Chain A
Amino acid sequence: DTAVSQTPKYLVTQMGNDKSIKCEQNLGHDTMYWYKQDSKKFLKIMFSYNNKELIINETVPNRFSPKSPDKAHLNLHINSLELGDSAVYFCASSHQANEQYFGPGTRLTVT
């Protein structure tokens, strides 16, 4: 009965590869998010979807493409991975944006 789940938990890959991270929430929330947390712990929003529609799209390279097949899922696909993409990626969901529930995170390491 995990609220927000992400897979995989760890992802190690080489530069230039394409990878995906999956996220699912069973809280019945309408809004889902992707965040990137860098090595300095700075948490920055990347995307937000409400009922499968993109509502926030921060300045993120277009190598990052979110996909929301339904309101319980928000996946993140990353093309042509770069060293600077190494970070922890958190998925979150909320009913109201001021109270978000985060997944356990995916630690991405690009070598």
Chain B
Amino acid sequence: GQSLEQPSEVTAVEGAIVQINCTYQTSGFYGLSWYQQHDGGAPTFLSYNALDGLEETGRFSSFLSRSDSYGYLLLQELQMKDSASYFCAVRGVDKIIFGKGTRLHILP
């Protein structure tokens, strides 16, 4: 089967660093993407990894290990506005699968 696993909730403190993990199982793999969704809003694209390694975009970084079928999203210098749900997504053969989302709670 095809699936993605990510934690349902993560809590961190403002100014800290948090990592959201994602493991996947797909037939065929074309890359791992990350999306952010605020309550009542639409998902917005954050990052994409097709190859192993770390991609950095400002305070956000995303990592992929294809051999481990694993990736993570790293958020640094957390701000209250980062409180949202974060989804990993993979594209397989004729499939696009989203994880169930990780709700990030940020404490002041």
Contact = CB atoms under 8 A, between A and B. Distances in A.
A56 B93 CA distance: 10
B94 A97 contact: no
Nearest to A44: B98
B7 to A, nearest CB: 14
- The CB with the most chain A CB atoms within 10 A, among B31, B96, B97, is that of B96
Contacts of B43: 43, 90, 92, 100, 102
B45 A101 contact: yes
Contacts of A103: 42
Interface in A46-95: 48, 55-56, 90, 92
Interface size class of A (residues with CB under 8 A): 20 to 34
Question: Interface SS of chain B: helix, strand, loop or mixed?
Answer: strand
Contacts, number: 51
B42 A98 contact: no
Label chain A's interface by main secondary structure.
Answer: strand
Interface string B66-108: 0000000000000000000101000100111110110000000
B42 A42 contact: no
Contact of B30 (A35, A45, A98): A98
Contacts of A102: 42-44
Contact of A45 (B31, B45, B85, B96): B96
Nearest to B100: A42
B91 A98 contact: yes
Given A56-B94, A56-B95, A98-B31, A43 B42 contact: no
Instruction: Give 10 closest A-B pairs by Cβ, nearest first.
Output: A102-B42, A43-B98, A98-B31, A98-B48, A97-B91, A45-B96, A102-B43, A98-B33, A99-B45, A41-B101
26 contacts: A33-B96, A41-B37, A41-B85, A41-B100, A42-B98, A42-B100, A42-B101, A43-B87, A43-B98, A44-B98, A45-B97, A56-B94, A56-B95, A56-B96, A90-B42, A90-B43, A97-B30, A98-B30, A98-B48, A98-B50, A99-B45, A100-B43, A100-B45, A102-B43, A105-B41, A105-B42
